[in-house]
Amino acid sequence: MKLYDLALADIDVRPSPFCWLAKFALLHKGLEFETEPLRFAEKHNYPDQDHGRVPILRDGDHIISDSANIIAYLEKSYPGERIVATPGEQAAADFYNSWVGANLFPALGPVMFVRVHAAVHEDDKEYFRSSREKRFGQTLEELSMTPGLKEKAEASLQVLSAPLVRHKFLGGDKPNLSDYIVFSPFMWQRVTTSETFYETPQAVGAWQERMLDLFDGYARKAKTLGDKTAA
């Protein structure tokens, strides 16, 4: 299997939260895969040019685009270790997906975009800036100065800490799709910057450490900006 993965100027630095979600799904299934780095503006190299975004998974003759479609494909084609085992787990994952979109991404995104822009390849900078500024109607610098981001992040993490005070993972005793959905944006932050602009509750921080240790420390070993050695 080959997973096409979004890369910065350093092709070993891979921050995309959606690609991380697909990687966690593959790891959860115990499937062997390799990653293929693609930059933002390399649309001509995307195996699914109609889709034009990563992650994209190539499995033999099958090409699957979008992390949700990849997860559904893996669950159908490789049913051994379920990523979501019950309708209740799927309902929880749907909730966390909505929560991330409504709370976590709006808190992290304005700060992250300007940092990612600084780290993308020179050929990607114009595309990255213009696409994001068109979406939000502000410059990246103006977006990064959005009032109340610290408070928004901390309020979101207080909500997240509630289940993690009682459980090792959002999936209970073991991680499942809910954990991967929520943790992937934190990998976006971890890979791109060592800076923090909010306080992390103890229960959330402990869960993050457990997530980094999964799969023989796959996420912990991922190369970050400033790291001199690729994973």
Task: Show the tokens assigned to 66.
Answer: 């979008």
How many CA atoms, within 13 angstroms, populate the side-chain half-sphere of residue 164?
A: 24
> Does 231 have pLDDT greater than 90?
no
pLDDT of residue 49: 67
For the stretch 9-63, pLDDT in tens is: 999 999 999 999 999 999 999 999 999 999 998 877 878 767 678 999 999 999 9
Indicate where the chain has its CATH 3.40.30.10 domain(s). Answer: 2-77
For the stretch 167-212, pLDDT in tens is: 999 999 999 999 999 999 999 999 999 888 999 999 999 999 999 9
Largest separation between any pair of C-alpha atoms in the chain: 48
- Output the CATH code of domain 87-217: 1.20.1050.10
For the stretch 109-155, pLDDT in tens is: 999 999 999 999 999 999 999 999 999 999 999 999 999 999 999 99
pLDDT of residue 18: 98
Mean pLDDT of 68-86: 96
The C-alpha angle with vertex 39 and arms to 183 and 34, in degrees rounded to 5, equals 65
Indicate where the chain has its CATH 1.20.1050.10 domain(s). Answer: 87-217
The torsion of the CA quartet 32, 15, 213, 83, rounded to 10 degrees, works out to -50
- Three-state secondary structure call for residue 121: coil
**Number of other residues whose CB lies within 10 A of the CB of residue 136:** 15
Minimum mean pLDDT range among 7-21, 65-79, 130-144, 216-230: 216-230
pLDDT of residue 228: 53
The torsion of the CA quartet 191, 140, 49, 185, rounded to 10 degrees, works out to 30
Share above pLDDT 70 across residues of the chain, in percent, rounded to a whole number? 97
The torsion of the CA quartet 85, 88, 94, 95, rounded to 10 degrees, works out to -140
pLDDT of residue 51: 67
CATH superfamily to which 2-77 belongs: Glutaredoxin (3.40.30.10)
DSSP letter (8 states) at residue 104: I
pLDDT of residue 91: 98
Grade residue 227 by pLDDT with cuts at 50, 70 and 90: confident
